Chain A
């Protein structure tokens, strides 16, 4: 069975600083990989996804993530944090034949300080 590990349940960053959220997965074959964001009192929305091809994936709001097969990782970064980035972020994986059934990590709450 797949599993997803997000390092750090809470991350505090200063406005303008680098945002780095770590995600590692366990899977026998490269899965589909996703990062979702959840703003307060809202549902989750997709930030970016990796399915195949280029391993550096760019998403919305200036976020990007890099798939590293050798490290089974899919870390999310943003060069300069903005106050509006305060939210909870979820890494998720899906086996290529699992038809949309995602396995989610526990989530990382990001706080942005002035």
Chain B
């Protein structure tokens, strides 16, 4: 089983619908991230969380919200989806204990299409 699991893997929805992408991890890491991948733009940070009580906006947080339900769970929501939110979304984790340098461990991605 994957250490970082994302659901759903693929989703097609319509403009204005609310969408939630879920991420769970078994790595025991304290830090979790949501990134968005667009062709030619690489990955951009949406939100990140260093623990359950710590949520921070990233580079492109407008139109998104997150919830850290537990150390192992981090959800991304689109309250009212729009077509330019069509993208591949990645959840990632990292662990700074023991002097780790912030290497990210990625899930397999959630492909979202907004019509």
Is B a genuine binding partner of A?
Answer: yes
Contact surface of A with B, Cβ cutoff 8 Å: 4, 9, 32, 34, 36, 41-46, 49, 51, 90, 92, 94, 98-102, 104-107
Contact surface of B with A, Cβ cutoff 8 Å: 4, 31, 33, 35, 40-45, 48, 50, 58, 90, 94, 96, 101-104, 106-109
B31–A32 touching, CB < 8 Å: no
A43–B40 touching, CB < 8 Å: no
A100–B33 touching, CB < 8 Å: yes
A43–B4 touching, CB < 8 Å: yes
- Not counting A99-B31, A100-B48, a sample of 20 additional A-B residue pairs whose C-beta atoms are within 8 angstroms of each other reads A9-B40, A32-B102, A42-B108, A43-B106, A49-B101, A49-B103, A92-B43, A99-B50, A100-B96, A100-B102, A100-B103, A100-B104, A101-B45, A101-B102, A102-B43, A104-B42, A104-B43, A105-B42, A107-B40, A107-B42
A-B contact pairs, 7 of them (CB 8 A): A34-B103, A42-B108, A43-B106, A44-B90, A44-B106, A100-B48, A107-B40
Chain A, residue nearest B4 (CB): A43
